[in-house]
Amino acid sequence: MRILVAEDEPHIADAVARGLRRQGMAVDVAGDGALALYKARVFDYDVVVLDRDLPKMHGDDVCRALNRERPEVKVLMLTASTGVDELVEGLALGADDYLGKPFKFAELVARIDALGRRTERARPAAMSWADLEVDTARHTATRAGHDLSLTPKEFGVLRELVAAAGAAVSPEELLERVWDENTDPFTNTVRMAVMTLRRKLGDPPLVATVQGAGYRMASDSDSA
């Protein structure tokens, strides 16, 4: 899941971004409303975490523009005002959810997960392939009942491959969905993540390479 955090207080933005990345999400950050709207027009985000009081372009105006131009993107609005009137006003602007500051990080993650499941790219919280079980809500993966110790990026790659249900996923798509805008697209980051993921998944192999197309979850025919 790819997230944009639009927050003008650097310590809050950095803390939220770091925490969400530890959950296996790809996170970009914008420090003002104009930059947030620009990035939302360029990149495909599942959820925009939008502070209401942003400089250069108010969060209300960003929310209106996103609701008009990118209605598939879910908006979680953050505000220091927690009154009912502010809540109603924020939702009337097109926000999909509303969270008052200060907030507990676990609640923020739960709300982002819930909004992410409502996007066009939504996938169930629990997915499986052969003897593999992936729980995106709990951020856990098991094979044959044994817990897999995966890094956030390895988990993100596995999540995208299982969600594709056997279809090939290109390295570019994995880079877009699992990493953020600061990642060099010409590195071998994806290949290395897939290599370590394969090792941790064990045998028989579950991830197959599709020449010229990327990677997919292996089927019984691959080992025949």
Q: Is the pLDDT of residue 23 over 90?
A: no
What is the reported pLDDT for 199?
A: 92
Better-scored residue on pLDDT, 79 or 147: 147
Q: Which CATH number fits domain 2-116: 3.20.20.30, 3.40.50.2300, 3.40.720.10, 3.30.420.40?
A: 3.40.50.2300
Mean pLDDT for the stretch of residues 50-65: 93
The pLDDT value recorded for residue 90 is 55
Residue 207 pLDDT > 90 = yes
- Name the H helices within the chain: 10-22, 33-42, 59-69, 84-92, 105-116, 152-163, 171-178, 189-201
What is the predicted pLDDT for the residue at 221? 56
Domains of the chain by residue range: 2-116, 126-223
Per-residue pLDDT tens over the stretch 140-187: 899 999 999 998 889 989 988 998 888 999 988 888 788 776 666 666
Q: Would you state the pLDDT for residue 165?
A: 86
Separation of CA 199 from chain center? 24
126-223 topology per CATH: Arc Repressor Mutant, subunit A (1.10.10)
In this predicted model, which residue has the larger pLDDT, 29 or 121? 29
CB 49 within 8 A of CB 37: no
Amino acid 164: pLDDT: 87
What is the reported pLDDT for 134? 92
> How high is the mean pLDDT of the chain?
85
Q: Which of 137, 141, 94 is nearest to 117 (CA)?
A: 137
Per-residue pLDDT reduced to its tens digit, 86-106:
656 656 678 888 888 888 999
What crossing angle do the helices spanning 152-163 and 189-201 adopt, rounded to 10°? 80
pLDDT(38) > 60: yes
For position 42, what pLDDT does the model report? 86
Please compute the mean of the pLDDT values over residues 17-31 and round it to a whole number. Answer: 89
Give the highest mean pLDDT range of 30-39, 73-82, 97-106.
30-39
Per-residue confidence (pLDDT) for residue 224, from 0 to 100: 43
Residue 29 and residue 8: Cα distance in Å, rounded? 9
Task: Please give the residue that has the higher pLDDT: either 115 or 86.
Answer: 115
pLDDT of residue 79: 83
Confidence tier at 84 by pLDDT (50, 70, 90)? low
- Asked whether residue 213 carries a pLDDT value surpassing 50, the answer given is yes
On the 0-12 / 13-18 / 19+ scale of CB atoms within 10 A, 33 is buried
pLDDT at 212 over 90: no
